[in-house]
Chain A
Amino acid sequence: AQTVTQSQPEMSVQEAETVTLSCTYDTSESDYYLFWYKQPPSRQMILVIRQEAYKQQNATENRFSVNFQKAAKSFSLKISDSQLGDAAMYFCAYRSFYSGGGADGLTFGKGTHLIIQP
């Protein structure tokens, strides 16, 4: 079974600064997908960014980018120019490349609470 570990329960950053959230995972699979989800106080789960393991290039979505290190099984999220609206819980998640038998389900880490200081 796969596991996802987020070692930072809480992070704080000044508005407009850059912050990096850490995520490591354990898997025996060679192909898989990784995601970062944002959960604001409204509880809604929002997909921030995803990475396909077979792609060497790190994914980027506007102010959000990842540092994907496949050999180290590390998948960190960098948020540039932090904004007050970025304050939320952030969850790292893993999905198997293969479908069926529950394999499509996501395996989540415990989350990192991101605080933005004005």
Chain B
Amino acid sequence: NAGVTQTPKFQVLKTGQSMTLQCAQDMNHNSMYWYRQDPGMGLRLIYYSASEGTTDKGEVPNGYNVSRLNKREFSLRLESAAPSQTSVYFCASSERGGLEQFFGPGTRLTVL
């Protein structure tokens, strides 16, 4: 039981490049989330998906798109990366309305 997995673990991009962060969970959870963590800050919600085929914006959605491919997978896409998107990105999952969110190990993204 791997829990929540994220790929890649590290990535360096140049300004304007695009990339997709992948997230998968094997706990049969309905809800999935993407957060970003900047230095000296707590995590902030980017997007949320309550179930397959549905997504909602969180606190900081600008510059990102998401896809809930199926129940297991929830990807985050940066279409044109900017230095302000340098951050650590966490994916999480939970039961629908569940109290505990299970987090992946994070992806450290640097945009030059």
- Chain A residues within 8 Å of B, Cβ to Cβ: 4, 33, 42-45, 47, 50, 91, 93, 95, 99-102, 104-111
Contacts and interface: CB of A to CB of B under 8 A. Distances in A.
30 contacts: A4-B42, A43-B88, A43-B106, A44-B103, A45-B90, A45-B92, A45-B103, A47-B101, A50-B99, A91-B42, A91-B43, A99-B96, A101-B56, A102-B45, A102-B57, A102-B58, A104-B33, A104-B94, A104-B97, A105-B33, A105-B35, A105-B45, A105-B48, A106-B35, A106-B43, A106-B45, A108-B44, A110-B41, A110-B42, A111-B40
Nearest to A91: B42
B90 A104 contact: no
Contacts of A108: 42-44
A96 B110 CA distance: 32
Nearest to A50: B99
A33 to B, nearest CB: 6
Nearest to A97: B97
A54 to B, nearest CB: 13
Given A50-B99, A99-B50, 6 more contacts: A47-B101, A95-B99, A106-B43, A107-B59, A108-B42, A110-B41
